Structure 1
Amino acid sequence: MSSEIDTAWQDTESAYASVDRLARADASADELEGELLDLWSSRSDGSLTVFKHGTATYLFELASGNVPDRTLACVGVPPQTVDRRDVSYQGGFPLAQAGRPVDRSHLMPHSGGGLFGPNIFRQDRAMNRGLSRDGQRYRDTERKAVEQQAMYFASLRYADATDHAAVVETGTITVEGVSVRAYRNRFDATAFASYPPSAENDAAGHAVLETLTAAQLGDVGEEVVRIHLETLGVPIVAVGDSHLTRNEGRQDLDLVVLIDDELTVVEVKTRYLARLAGTLTRAGNLRRPRLSARGGTRQGSADYNADRLTSILDVDGLGPTRTYIVDLQAGLLQWFPVNASGRLQTPPEPPSSCAEVLSEAIEVIRTAGRL
């Protein structure tokens, strides 16, 4: 196993350049498979074996010293039909949970003919279930390979002497060439040390944002607004996740702050995964979110806020409510006044950058164990 730091693991297209040339030259499936196996074998210092399992070919690293048996890669063409999934076998596969939630997953997707045994690996749940932006891309690649019956491959890259892969590469091969992408599968310090994000992505925080679920992105957005307000000298009275306890699952207030000596409720709406993320209105503002209305009470309205504050604080009166929109794709935030009925009004200020506090916000969330 190589222990060198891989600083270009996300630039996978260059690594597969020779395979791409063969594909464009209309090489045979055997030639393409051989080129892939040579590439993957060059990444390992262990004892390797190649075998067929179902309709796919696997590259496997045999146990040596403190390194266990582990799958390195697989390649195959999805068959037209597949057998029913054996749920009992998959459910019995050992699964150690540490840090972010993980699933028992197929390296070659079940819909593409993937079986069990060496085809099962520990995968980040957000990626496996398509809950993050990376996860959406990952599942889209699998789906297209199955629909088109295109040659599909997947490779696992390790950061230490375990069978928990730090990076997963997946791709398809057609006469138009190779389409491949790498995904982070582990988020611990060891994995980040071996496979660090590029300097550009790390500075902007996007290397992490691509891997987060909608709920985690919401946490980042709230932290961005908290840091932003503190930078402006706004006193923070309470933060939803740490001070305002959830009551029977109902949604709590995000922030309570003092603005011009008035107690003000701040609702935060974070946009990243949505189709309109990163776009502005013709007036140059961030697009307004829809505030929910449950039980006849609109989120952000005076009744909504008072109901959630009375059990926490001795409130004589509330100042104006604000909704902050954080667009993490655009790197912008903007606040909108909210009237007593919970409707957003015209923003008094243009959007401002939040890029400078994004990395700090992500680090706060990571330290708290919420990433």
Structure 2
Amino acid sequence: MSLITDLSREAKAAAKTLAVLDEAKKNAVLKDMAEAIRSHTQGIIDVNTKEVARAKENNLDAAMIDRLILDADRIEDMAQGIETIIELEDPVGKTRSLGKRPNGIDIRKMRIPLGVVCMIYEARPNVTADAGALCFKSGNAVILRGGKEALDTSLAIAGLLQDVLVKHDLPKALITVVPNPDRALMQELMEQRDYIDVIIPRGGEGLINYVTDNAKVPVIQHFKGVCHLYVDKDADLDNAMELLLNGKTQRTGVCNALEGLIVHQAVADDFLPRVAEAFKEKGVKVHVNEAGASYFDGADVIGEDGYGEEYLGLEIAIRVVDDMDMALEHINQFGSFHTEVISTQDTAAAERFQRTVDAAVVMVNASSRFSDGSQLGLGAEIGIATTKLHAYGPMGLESLTTEKYLVNGEGQIRS
């Protein structure tokens, strides 16, 4: 058999061993995983530093390099993410009643693991720990296929997690990193429908489209993050400015960063001069429609076809709108079903925005940067689903399970 088939088959067999583990045992393993990562911080950094240097030599773009870098703080975040998962209730085995039928049969549904999860991702070595821990607690084996830029770091992290598995007499194949980034092997991986139950791609739009178009296994998609902040006519402009700067400039190369700003014309005169000043100081490039162009020096004036870009840098598209209806239309046309934010003190406007906007996460007076599994109480996340299958939004433990029917009778037969 080939390498990929062997890895996939071993993962399928390993997943069955999780069926007999109770929550206490899972948590003990996770505790040791968090400690292994924390105690090997410097070793991870040493490997990662070499990969970052190679990426810079190869002129990898700034957003990808930002995702690739692991420093002490980010490694600590990985460890804490695992510890947060320990605190979460294990969804596996939880049941809910659907009641009894007139003939007396009792119907329930029980949460079960998906089986084998395959992650295909680019330049995100932290995914190795996040996905490994989430899949383990939710009863799934995971196969990780990262980009070549982060392969050594991913292998280093996976090695630590596998050592913990072996220590607890569990198969290493529960967490597998494909050791070769050859694209042909990725194609083979996407065809393993006998062993892999779902693929979750995480990366640029090109990667997502490639996996979606070529996989023979079900795909949960995480498309681009074109997130907007709408500043309503009743916004607290001081707070709106904080939301804007945090969402746009705190970390640019992530999918929950703001890529669009929509401003109600009633507050444009007060708000946009402040935005222009702040963006000039921060070095943010502005693309803006005719109605907002006069507030900015040297901005790129754009038409309708200029919106909907995911910049992943110090760059943003701004639109001044006549009313909330126009803002909602803009989001409907150019949003990516990821995260949308309104700044307003009008409760009715806030409720309408949350009810109307079609996005996985819809926020009122909170930064788009909170659209993250760790920030929403999920521990780590395995991705943010922007298609509406069984999961929508940040995917934590429950999103890595499904339900099966349990039907109990007393000898009933169908007539």
Q: Same fold (TM over 0.5)?
A: no
More helix by share: 2
- Larger RCO, structures 1/2 (Cα 8 Å, 6+ apart): 2
Structure with larger Rg: 1
